[in-house]
Structure 1
Amino acid sequence: LEAGFPEVAEPFAMTYAFHDSATPMKVVLMVSRFGHCLNDILYRWKIGALPIDIVAVVSNHFDYQKVVVNHDIPFHHIPVTKANKPEAEARIMEIVTSTRAELIVLARYMQVL
């Protein structure tokens, strides 16, 4: 896969990396008001079927704060409006940077980034 992938990536100007699956990837989950994707990811993570390290959950609503905190995962509420969108996105990037996240999963996060 690693040897053949440059041929696929080049026409799309893709940057990519391969990771050792034995080392869980650091993930930030983002969710809005619909929690079914978040709940599914948390369940699979909890039973060991999804070998990731969830370093934070970001949401523009408080709906799933208790669910996240009950899993001992840091929850970050960042409200987004037309007026504060650039600042909100900067705060999200601060969380990604400070947690050293390698992947952001939009678990029904309903904002255009």
Structure 2
Amino acid sequence: MVREVFEYQRPKLKLVRYWQMSYKCPACHKKGRSVIVRASVPKPLLNHSLVAASVVAEIMYQKYVNAMPLYRQEAAWKQLGVTFSRTTMARWIIRCAEDWLE
């Protein structure tokens, strides 16, 4: 080894799409039984929400460890290309605290 260096990479956001495939049994269908098998998909952190656990963890970390208010986080997320309102982020924090930190 010649040397070691630290490099900085800006945070990035990525959209992950989950697909659920459904299959029917052709042999069962011919016998008059309808059997449909669905692949499993990961459960969402919050129902009916696009937010992942990593995003809520970052919001909570910035708020409670770095003392960064939600209005400043709103601007920081906007620089990454996504609009999360302060109200939405506050709801995520409250719901996750109620659902996961009992």
Question: Which of the five TM-score ranges fits, normalised by the shorter chain?
Answer: under 0.3
- Considering only CA atoms, is the larger Rg found in Structure 1 or Structure 2? 2
Between structures 1 and 2, the one with greater helix share: 2
Q: Which has the higher contact order (CA 8 A, sep 6+)?
A: 1
Tell me the TM-score normalised to structure 2 length.
0.25
